[in-house]
Amino acid sequence: MDPARSHNPNSSYQNPQSAYRRHRDAGGRNHSENKRSRPNHHQYQSGPTPPQNPRSSQELSTRRELYERDFPVYKQPVEVGCFSLDSERRFFNDSRRMKYYVEPDRNPNFDLKDGYKDRYIRRDESEKEKLDHILRWILANKSKLSSKVTTASSCALDFDFVTWRGHLTKLLTTPYETREGWLLAVSRFRGTLYISEVETEAARREQESRTERHKEMMYWGYKFEQYTCADDVHSSPDPGGVVNTNEAFCTVVQTRLADHRLLFSGEVDCRDKDPNAPAPPACYVELKTSAEICTPKQRSNFHRFKLLKWWAQSFLPGVPRVVAGFKDEEGVVVTVDTFPISKISQLIKNEQNCWKPTVCMNFCCDFLSFVKQIATEDNPSVVYLFSWEPRRDVTFSIHRDSQYSFLPHWFVEEMTSSHDSHRQP
């Protein structure tokens, strides 16, 4: 029996029986030893026997079978704030770019190609923003976040990890990923581990060699958002307007995965416009497009690959539903369907060799434990660079004052400054 299903991870975030324990290994910084030993995964299992201290390990396996155990505790994510980015990518500590979902016809015939040539402003992807927007949000909300006053002049966050939701999505899907590797830079600062993605060589090459067709298809997803979202509760979508991908509304949520206290942010497409809808993040809606499904093989691929990505992305922040526009080869949305996140594990249950939510969450959890064990030096200019390629183990290297440092001076200084008027006495 599949333990993931028995735990119904999508409707219940808490597994009260999980006696998950953390054991930090004080060693493990000499990565040049490059031992081939595997982490003792079975020692992290839930159950009445306390796990043993894991051996020091310099690599982390991504083999699926190592992560097939009980679903870990994942607390219901709570929204602690939000921010908006305007048409010029300027940060605002509010919800001004929130959009409202307007349910379309089931067969709407939306032409996603419309406006690509003349009403499209594309965000400059070469501008690497790293964690900057989240760090701005943290500074703007420092008083409600920092409870531990460590010295008379500074504060620490009550979180083990700060990152983007998208980075966590990549971790969740890693045991099933066969094509794209990743690089994640980690710095420990005042006890919190900040995780920021670094573009891989392969991703840079892929971006530079994108075909015109591919570039146009990337626009289609945003165009679908424009057809289904309004700027205000009482207005209607405006398909004649400009699609500007600089604009964003982001939620900031806190939660806990086993003993990892997480603060992360993710872009939210829109919310239910009913004023009686549940509070965020339960009122949020994720919009997606996908190729229309005409054959059993296409349905199987949709379950095995698309639904994995959709589930991982929305499960993390507690977004309860995905509204999908199925498009034909001409870029016309022919059908719209809603996928409740809590129903996705049932949808895939008849699929052979399919992905399992528990493997995704346990791998992410063990990766975060691995990071805690390795990234021990508390110094914002030291980066532990974690690297993964399909069919390989996760490895790391250490960099001081290098091109990889990503915590900006303005953040480090303000977090250490004695002139914080918001800090609690």
Residues near Mg ion (CB under 5 A) are: 269, 287
Alpha-carbon distances of 248 from 21, 77, 87, 94, 124, rounded to whole Å: 38, 20, 8, 11, 14
Nearest distance in Å: CB 258, ligand A3P:
26
Nearest distance in Å: CB 228, ligand A3P:
11
State how beta strands 161-164 and 260-267 pair.
Answer: parallel
The tokens for 121 are: 């402003």
Residue 74 near which of Mg ion, ligand A3P, none (CB within 5-8 Å, type-dependent): none
Nearest distance in Å: CB 313, Mg ion:
8
Nearest distance in Å: CB 173, ligand A3P:
13
Cβ partners under 8 Å of residue 296, min gap 6: none
- 104 belongs to the binding site for ligand A3P (CB under 6 A): no
Residue 222 near which of ligand A3P, Mg ion, none (CB within 5-8 Å, type-dependent): ligand A3P
- 222 belongs to the binding site for ligand A3P (CB under 6 A): yes
Nearest distance in Å: CB 198, ligand A3P:
16
Q: Which residue has the tokens 């959009």?
A: 99
- 228 belongs to the binding site for ligand A3P (CB under 6 A): no
Nearest distance in Å: CB 116, ligand A3P:
11
Give the separation between CA 390 and CA 89, rounded to whole angstroms: 33
Q: Identify which of residues 144 and 204 has a Cβ nearer to ligand A3P in the complex.
A: 204
Give the separation between CA 27 and CA 323, rounded to whole angstroms: 47
Cβ partners under 8 Å of residue 220, min gap 6: 112, 113, 289, 327, 331
Give the separation between CA 382 and CA 403, rounded to whole angstroms: 10
Phi, psi angle pair for 101, to nearest 5° = -75, 130
Size, binding site for ligand A3P by CB under 6 A: 9
Q: Identify which of residues 209 and 403 has a Cβ nearer to ligand A3P in the complex.
A: 209
Residue 131 near which of Mg ion, ligand A3P, none (CB within 5-8 Å, type-dependent): none
Nearest distance in Å: CB 191, Mg ion:
34
Nearest distance in Å: CB 306, Mg ion:
12
- Torsion, Cα 22 26 29 30, to 10 degrees, reads -120
Alpha-carbon distances of 145 from 98, 139, 166, rounded to whole Å: 23, 9, 22
Q: Identify which of residues 61 and 289 has a Cβ nearer to ligand A3P in the complex.
A: 289
Residue 116 near which of Mg ion, ligand A3P, none (CB within 5-8 Å, type-dependent): none
The residue range among 72-80, 89-97, 189-197, 216-224 that interacts with ligand A3P, by the rule CB under 6 A, is 216-224
The residue range among 95-103, 221-229, 378-386, 404-412 that interacts with ligand A3P, by the rule CB under 6 A, is 221-229
Biggest alpha carbon distance in the chain?
65
Nearest distance in Å: CB 214, ligand A3P:
7
- 116 belongs to the binding site for ligand A3P (CB under 6 A): no
Q: Which of 316, 266, 267, 269 shows the shortest CA–CA distance to 289?
A: 269
Write each residue from 283 to 312 as x if it is in contact with ligand A3P (CB under 6 A), else as -, in one continuous string: -----xx-----------------------
Residue 355 near which of Mg ion, ligand A3P, none (CB within 5-8 Å, type-dependent): none
Give the separation between CA 244 and CA 226, rounded to whole angstroms: 10
Q: Which of 222, 226, 223, 283 shows the shortest CA–CA distance to 251?
A: 283
Residue 108 near which of Mg ion, ligand A3P, none (CB within 5-8 Å, type-dependent): none
**Contact with ligand A3P (CB under 6 A): which of 44, 220, 284, 315?**
220
The residue range among 176-184, 191-199, 220-228, 363-371 that interacts with ligand A3P, by the rule CB under 6 A, is 220-228
- 218 belongs to the binding site for ligand A3P (CB under 6 A): yes
Q: Which of 297, 328, 318, 368 shows the shortest CA–CA distance to 220?
A: 328
State how beta strands 110-111 and 332-340 pair.
Answer: antiparallel
Residue 289 near which of Mg ion, ligand A3P, none (CB within 5-8 Å, type-dependent): ligand A3P
Give the separation between CA 182 and CA 240, rounded to whole angstroms: 38
Sign of the dihedral through C-alpha 125, 129, 133, 134: positive
Helices (H), 146-249: 165-173, 201-208, 212-228
Nearest distance in Å: CB 269, Mg ion:
5
Q: Identify which of residues 18 and 169 has a Cβ nearer to Mg ion in the complex.
A: 169
Residues that bind ligand A3P (CB under 6 A): 218, 220-222, 224, 267, 269, 288-289
